[in-house]
Each structure stands twice: as C-alpha cells, then as structure tokens.
Amino acid sequence: MVVEEKDPVDVLTELPEGEGITIGAGEQLPESLWKVRLRLFWKSFKRNWTLFKENKIGLAGLAVIALFALMALSYPVMRSAGPWQNDAVYNPVIGYDAPRAEFEIVATEADVVDPTTQMDANKAQLWCFRVVAGDTCVIPQQPAPPGSDHWLGTDPLGRDIASQLAFSTRAAFLLGLIAAVVTVGVATTIGSIAAFYGGWLDNFLMRVADLVLLLPLIPILIVMSGLWQINLPILGVLIGILSGFGGTAIVLKSQALSIKVKPFIDAARVSGGSNWHLISKHIIPNVLPLSFLYMMFTVTEAVSLEATLSFFGLLNIDMSWGIMLNTAQSQGYLRSGLEFWWLLIPAGVAVTLLAAGFFFVGRAMDEVVNPRLRAR
C-alpha cells in the first residue's frame, strides 16, 4: 500500500490561512501568515522606494513608462467617436481615413496659381475621371500632414498615425509583460536548480547558459522568423526563454548559491523539507527580487527586438511601431529626408523612449539592489 507522505513543512504552510497558525499545544501566532508577509513586503517596498527615489534618472524612466501606459489606455477612449462611427473604436490596421482635399480644375499647368487648391486637368485625370476645367475634384491625401483631424497625420495608406502609435503601445506592453514573466520563470528555475543540485546538471545548464549568453539574439530570431510564422505572444515567449536562459540565469544561480549555504536552508532540511520544498519555498522566493531587476532589461530588449524584426517585415504582426516604419520604408517615404517627418519620427521615438524608460528603471533598481553602486 502506498501511503502518501506529506512534507511536514508543507503541512505547516498549508494550514487554512487567515486563522492564525497553531504552534505546538495551543500557542498561536498573533497574526496570520499572509498578513505578516504583506507587512514585510510593504516595509521592504518602502525602504527600497526611498532608495529608488534618490535616483532622478530612474524616476524619469518611471514617468516615461507611466506616460506610455496612459497612451495605451487612451486609445479606445480617444478613438471611440468620429467618422468611423459604424465601428465602436477606430481600428488603425484597417481604418482608411485619409482626409480629402478639394481641387479646382484649371486647363493647363501654367494656369495653376495656388497649387494647394488648384490642379491642371491632365494631372487630375489620375483621380477624377474625365474632369475638365471648372470642375472640382476631391483627392484623398495620403500621407497627410498633421492636422486637427489627425494629430500626427496619416501614413501612406491613409491610416491615422496617432491611433497606430497608441494601439501599438498596448502590443509593446503585452510583449514586454510576456517576455518578462517568462524570463523570470525560466531564470529563477534554472538558476535555483543549477545551484541546488550542482554537479553535472549545474555544469550542463551553465554551459547552455554560456552559449545563449554568447549568441546574438537578432540573427537567431531573424532565422527563426524565416522558418516559422512568429506572432507577438510567441515572440514574447522566445525572447523570454532566450534572455532568461542566458545571463540572467547565471546571475541568479550565483545568488541562489549564496542562499543555499544559509542556515535556514539547513534548518528546513533538518525539519524534513523535501528538495522541491527547499527550492520552491526557500530558494526561489529569495532569488525572485533580484530577477525583477533583470526583468526590466528583458522588457527593453523585447521592445527593441520586436521593433527591429517588424521593421524588416519578418513577424506575423499587423500593427506595431516597427510595422509603422516598415510601411513608410516599403512605400519609399523613409529616405526622402524629413519632409515626411511624421512617418519617421513618432514611431522611432516611441520605441527608443519606452525601451530607455525600462532600462533606466532597471538601472535605478540595480543601485537599490547593489549597494556598491550607490553614491553614498
């Protein structure tokens, strides 16, 4: 007969929460476990926030991220009314909304006095069939310069740039979130397991981590995107795995090693904790804070990688900052100088700023975690 053995330490933590913990005969902890945890968390959060606040660049990064979050939220609100009212919210992928300009038709090119309102009949044939002098011809403007309808103009396909920018922000955050969560999961697991078990497993995992660290992500992802159809969630997972298994895993492993030798690990083992219990309840929670730091750098990486791959048209994504530039490039507007600046500047600045925002926050967190970097 197989008796299911329960880990004694697990039994302790699996007590119904909120009721207080019974230790021995009738003794009770004054508070339930989660309250203690919350209070500890809040305390360390406040302490770290004080340190973080000293770093002005980190605060600026946080402000940039908040700004982008607002932008992402603003999209459905700001774009829920307008000429596209048959749809609830303007869709920047398929929403053709080029502003129309009315031209007065004159006989020959020499008669054109004001080229913004007049056009010769010959040229107008391109848009209006069989017009003659005296007629008017309505011509869609694409790309249209910024105006009251379109704050940042339209792209070469007549779609609103401001909406595309805000719409893509959501995608960028989603991608960053997926990549960050996967990185943290992969890196803490690999790091803790390698540190805990040691031996050949550690050796093997660390050699693989060396390899992943050495390899440039962009070429690998370029080739992968050629072999498969990669969409946003898959890209997030790939970036998460590749950046989590590399440098982050190595750093977290050394952190886990320093925790493995602490007395409380021995105490937990003596009281009968299984390997799994030690890893999941003692090592991982202690490694996790450090992994949040690397999460920030992963988000930076994910945002710029996605933009780069999209720019080359390798991803199966319908709208992102990279796609915006890709559209402008493929329509031939990108190398013509700053005449069509609204096609070039907003998307590039958005990618750079959001990536930099996360990087600055990561760096400020680095100073909180590593005292040697602090000014004092």
Partner 1 sequence: MLKFVGRRLVQMVFLFFLFLTLVFFLLEAQPGDITAQFLDPTIPAEIRAQLVERLGLDGGVWSRWWNYITNFVTGNLGVSFQQYPRPVLDVITERIPRTLFLFTFATLLSYVIGFTLGKRLAWKRGGFSEHAITVSGVLLYTVFYPWFAIIMILFFASGLGWFPINGFLNPEFWRGAPYTGNEVFGQLIFSLLITGLVFGFTAWFARRQEERSTARVVRVIGYGTSLAFLVIFWLVRGDMRPFALDIVHHSILPIVTLALIAFAGVMLLTRGSMLETLKEDYILTAQAKGVPEKDIRDKHAARNALLPVVTSFVLGLAFIIGGGVVTETVFSWPGMGSLLLTATVAEDVPVATGALAFVGILALLAHLIVDILYAILDPRIRIQTGN
Residues of this chain that interact with partner 1 (CB under 8 A) are: 56-57, 60, 207-208, 210-211, 213-220, 222-228, 247, 300, 304, 307-308, 311-314, 321-322, 325, 334-335, 337-338, 344, 347-348, 351-352, 355-356, 359-360, 363, 372-373, 375
The sign of the dihedral angle between the CA atoms of 355, 361, 367, 369 is: negative
Q: Which is nearer to partner 1, 188 or 248 (CB)?
A: 248
Least Å distance, CB 226 to partner 1, is 4
The answer to whether the beta carbons of residues 259 and 286 sit under 8 Å apart is yes
Q: Measured between alpha carbons, how far apart are the two ends of the chain, in Å?
A: 63
Q: In the complex, what is the shortest distance from the CB of residue 186 to partner 1, in angstroms, rounded to a whole number?
A: 16
Are 49 and 361 within 8 A, CB to CB? no
Residue with smaller CB distance to partner 1, 38 or 218: 218
Smallest distance, partner 1 to C-beta of residue 184, A: 19
Nearest residue to 127 (alpha-carbon basis) of 98, 153, 147:
98
Residue placing its CB nearer to partner 1 in the complex, 84 or 173: 173
The three-state secondary structure class of 138 is strand
What tokens does 29 get? Answer: 């902890």
Please report how close the Cβ of residue 55 comes to partner 1 at its closest, in angstroms: 10
- Residue 375 CB, shortest distance to partner 1, in Å, is 6
Q: How many CB atoms lie within 10 A of CB 9?
A: 19
Quick one: CA torsion of 131, 135, 138, 141, rounded to 10 degrees? Answer: 80
Shortest distance, position 167 Cβ to partner 1, whole Å:
17
Provide the β-strand partners of residue 140. Answer: 100
Is the Cβ of residue 32 or residue 352 nearer to partner 1 in the bound state? 352
**Cα dist. 196→58, 221, 255, 280 in Å?**
34, 32, 11, 11
Quote the least distance from Cβ 214 to partner 1, whole Å. 5
Nearest CB to partner 1, comparing residues 157 and 334: 334
75 or 321: whose CB is closer to partner 1? 321
Q: Is the CB of 111 or the CB of 210 nearer to partner 1? A: 210
Q: Name every residue whose Cβ is closer than 8 Å to that of residue 42 and which is 6 or more positions away in sequence.
A: none
- Segments in 115-160 forming alpha helices (H): 121-124
